[in-house]
Amino acid sequence: KILVVGSVNIDLVIKTERIPSLGETVSGSGFSTICGGKGANQAVAIAKSGGDVTMLACVGDDVYGKMAISNLNQAGVCPAVKVCDNAPTGVAVITVCGGDNHIILDAGANGLVTIEMIAANEALFQAADIVVLQLEIPMEAVETAARLAKKHGCTVVLNPAPFQPLSRALILNVDLFVPNEFEASQVVGFEISGKEQVKKAICALEEMGIKQPVITLGAQGSAFRYGGEVVFQPAFRVTAVDTTAAGDTFIGGICACLCRGLTLKESVRYASAASAIAVSRFGASVSVPSKEEVLTFLSL
């Protein structure tokens, strides 16, 4: 059983030819309302990879909250979602202009995932084998969740995104740490470019007390320690269409596989295939492939 404790957002996306200047109105097109939030995306990715997953989160008492819960249900995630009447559902307003985007985020109800709410749901931690965390809810909630997960013998997975400084106490409670290249460089304090630097970063993370780091490197794949060596899993070659949620798909895939008893190496290979497929399609959690699709892709 897997428990995700994290964020639920709705992305309001609009395309425009030009970013408006102050006071100006420009025409946009292709408006879409997309279910997102790193926590929810990872939960959906786990469910699509056949994992038994529950999501602990907060939404507002509004139409977006209903939409987010129904999206989780549809994907096969069990939602342990509190509906709060004192904040709106988390929303990201995204303007896409050419290859660039501008994002304004209101965390809304995600900010209401409190220490008390985590403690009130201890039974979910007791039932879980793996607990998956990101940093789109208050840091003290993440720290409490990690502590409670350890108390119940769960494997703690942390995706340190969006990056924030991490306390030593949190770091020591993490079993599997999955940053992208940028987040990893923030933690170790030096830029990571090239394989030697990646190896150095993995050693630096281990020296900080992180048990198992897996660094994702975008189209370059990922790196982790296996059997004493730092090994590189190259990315599968695809035509990249939309890299949104590549990392979330990757983490979901790893967690679902580890929970089934696969080795880290096998899990990373599956996750790389799943995220490569997601990158080859438009959308966030809608682009995450099913387990069957990934297994077919891997056997080709």
- Say if residue 209 carries a ligand binding annotation: no
Q: Which residues pair with 33 in a beta bridge?
A: 12
- CB 5 within 8 Å of CB 131: yes
Q: Among 88-96, 119-127, 188-196, 218-226, which window interacts with ligand ADP (CB under 6 A)?
A: 218-226
Considering the complex, state which of residue 79 and residue 213 has its C-beta at the smaller distance from ligand ADP.
Answer: 213
Our answer to whether residue 248 is catalytic in this structure is: yes
| Minimum distance of ligand ADP from residue 186's CB (angstroms) | 13
- Say if residue 85 carries a ligand binding annotation: no
SS (H, E, C) 83-132: EECCCCCEEEEEEEECCEEEEEEECHHHHHCCHHHHHHCHHHHHHCCEEE
Q: Among 20-28, 59-67, 201-209, 212-220, which window interacts with ligand ADP (CB under 6 A)?
A: 212-220
| Alpha-carbon gap, residue 248 to 282, rounded angstroms | 15
Alpha helices in the chain (DSSP H): 38-48, 63-75, 115-120, 122-127, 139-151, 168-173, 181-188, 195-207, 246-259, 264-279, 291-299
| Alpha-carbon gap, residue 297 to 156, rounded angstroms | 29
- CB 110 within 8 Å of CB 59: no
Q: Is 216 in the site for ligand ADP (CB under 6 A)?
A: yes
Out of 61, 62, 175, 248, pick the active-site residue: 248
| Minimum distance of ligand ADP from residue 161's CB (angstroms) | 6
Size of the site for ligand ADP (CB under 6 A): 19
- Say if residue 247 carries a ligand binding annotation: yes
| Alpha-carbon gap, residue 5 to 43, rounded angstroms | 9
Q: Within positions 173 to 192, which residues make up the interface with ligand ADP, using CB under 6 A?
A: 180
Site string for ligand ADP, 231-270 (x = CB under 6 A): ----xx-x-x--x--xx--x--------------------
What's the gap between Cα 100 and its chain centre? 21
- Say if residue 46 carries a ligand binding annotation: no
Considering the complex, state which of residue 121 and residue 180 has its C-beta at the smaller distance from ligand ADP.
Answer: 180
Q: Within positions 113 to 132, which residues make up the interface with ligand ADP, using CB under 6 A?
A: none
| Alpha-carbon gap, residue 54 to 80, rounded angstroms | 7
| Alpha-carbon gap, residue 77 to 53, rounded angstroms | 5
Q: Is 288 in the site for ligand ADP (CB under 6 A)?
A: no
Pairing of strands 53-60, 2-5: parallel
| Minimum distance of ligand ADP from residue 271's CB (angstroms) | 7
Q: How distant, in Å, are the alpha carbons of 9, 62, 161, 242, 260 from that of 284?
A: 12, 22, 16, 8, 25
Q: Among 12-20, 56-64, 169-177, 214-222, which window interacts with ligand ADP (CB under 6 A)?
A: 214-222
- Say if residue 180 carries a ligand binding annotation: yes
Binding residues for substrate: 9-11, 37-41, 136, 248
What residues line the site for ligand ADP (CB under 6 A)? Answer: 180, 216-219, 221-222, 235-236, 238, 240, 243, 246-247, 250, 272, 275-276, 279
Catalytic residues: 248
Binding residues for K(+): 242, 244, 278, 281, 283, 287
